[in-house]
Chains A and B, each alone.
Chain A
């Protein structure tokens, strides 16, 4: 099964760049099914949280305007090789996914 979140964290010049791609349809709720003509219900990530060694360092609120299979990149000040970076998302249907990775030197 395809991984629901791909995440990488690389440390360079005292900045850890976190890049993640989340598998998610990000349906706006305004799209019609081509065959049935029915509206496809809105299904989109509403909240994203990033933690460093268990401590929350970032969070975001999203609407339906974020692209399908969302990409996100943020820069954490500092961080050390081997530190744990985790990302969690929650969507409007109550679904949730999480993934983590260790910081690598770039």
Chain B
């Protein structure tokens, strides 16, 4: 029957798509678990996997003292060649892993956003390139915590 045939073809192509994107799914799942982690070391481990961290030319622009922990403006700029992504962690937050920005060749390796900070903590920026993962940290003092 025609309807059944259409359904069968759709099912097959979806399955093919699922198989081809399972690598992406695996990466996305690992990423998802890192987001849920409530421990900085654990979230870092989940995020990095087997990869190591080296110091890198990454500039973190953030206030020395954040008056309102609910919204702390930060800007991360990577001067490392072929930056593929910029990820942000706030070490002392209840969920330290904050975000990952995927840097397409069409855009500059710089992002600005506002993050929540529960208390005085290091902002940790991790940059991924073909040559490896690089890290930079900067401490921000928080006078009024903005994280639950």
Contact = CB atoms under 8 A, between A and B. Distances in A.
Interface of A: 15, 28, 30-31, 52, 56-68, 70-78
B35 A74 contact: no
B10 interface: no
B147 interface: yes
Nearest to B112: A73
B30 to A, nearest CB: 11
Given A75-B108, A77-B108, A67 B101 contact: no
B129 interface: no
Nearest to B114: A67
Given A52-B106, A74-B110, A65 B97 contact: yes
Interface of B: 31, 35, 70-73, 75, 88, 90, 93-104, 106-108, 110-116, 146-148
B115 A65 contact: yes
A28 B88 CA distance: 17
A57 B94 CA distance: 31
